[in-house]
């Protein structure tokens, strides 16, 4: 009886392991796909809730991106580290994505 129980536990553990690996695989595929996102797609997904599609919504005290005078490098720093009500994106977006979205922010200026 104990032996059967042991076998059951082993198979559950093995099953758990294979499940985990396949999940990791999926996540990797997912992040590969994310890498290809353009600045405008990243902006739609992460920034419009406060800044609006045109950058001038101003929700949660967000600054008007059309009026911003920051350089592309300064935008990258702010998106990476966050400021005030705006959260940091360093754990959400890759460096490449932050660069893409910073370039997109510049295109919103009038
Ligand atoms: C939770 C709301 C919120 C989200 C989401 C958000 N922001 Fe912001 N953003 C703010 C706020 C608030 C400020 C003003 C921060 C301050 O100066 O205190 C700001 C400021 C900025 C500035 C600086 C403008 C300037 O001239 O000083 C940039 C650039 C910017 N956001 C870009 C982005 C980008 C790109 C994203 C998406 C990756 C994003 N924000 C997502 C709220 C947000």
pLDDT of the residue at 34: 47
42 CA distance to ligand 1 middle (Å): 14
31 CA distance to ligand 1 middle (Å): 24
**What residue segments make up the domains of the chain, in order of their start?**
1-36, 38-110
CA dist 50 and 53 (Å) reads: 9
Pocket of ligand 1 (CB under 6 A): 46-47, 49-51, 60-63, 65, 68, 70, 75, 78-79, 83-86, 89, 101, 105
CA dist 108 and 56 (Å) reads: 9
In this structure, the residue with its CA closest to atom 5 of ligand 1 is: 47
CA dist 23 and 97 (Å) reads: 23
Q: What is the pLDDT of residues 11-21, one digit of tens each?
A: 555 555 455 55
Alpha helices by DSSP H, 36-89: 39-46, 48-51, 72-81
pTM as predicted: 0.77
CATH number for the segment(s) 38-110: 1.10.760.10
pLDDT of the residue at 36: 54
pLDDT of the residue at 52: 98
Q: How far is CA 60 from CA 16, 46, 51, 70, in A?
A: 42, 14, 9, 20
Q: Is 6 helix (H, G, I), strand (E, B) or coil?
A: helix
Q: What is the pLDDT of residues 2-39, one digit of tens each?
A: 665 555 455 555 555 455 554 555 555 555 554 558 99
Positive/negative CA dihedral, 87, 92, 98, 102 = negative
Q: What is the pLDDT of residues 70-87, one digit of tens each?
A: 999 999 999 999 999 999
pLDDT of the residue at 97: 96
pLDDT of the residue at 54: 98
| Probe residue for ligand 1, chosen from 42, 51, 95, 102 as the CB with the greatest number of ligand atoms within 8 Å | 51
N-to-C CA span, the chain:
76
């Amino acid at each position: 009886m104990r032996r059967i129980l042991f076998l059951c536990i082993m198979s559950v553990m093995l099953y758990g392991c294979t499940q985990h690996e396949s999940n990791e695989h999926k996540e990797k595929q997912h992040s590969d796909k994310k890498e290809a996102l353009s600045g405008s797609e990243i902006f739609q997904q992460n920034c419009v809730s406060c800044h609006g599609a045109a950058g001038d919504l101003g929700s949660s005290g967000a600054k008007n991106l059309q009026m911003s005078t920051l350089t592309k490098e300064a935008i990258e720093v702010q998106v990476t580290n966050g400021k005030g009500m705006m959260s940091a994106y360093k754990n959400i977006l890759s460096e490449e994505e932050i660069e893409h979205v910073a370039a997109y922010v510049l295109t919103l200026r009038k």
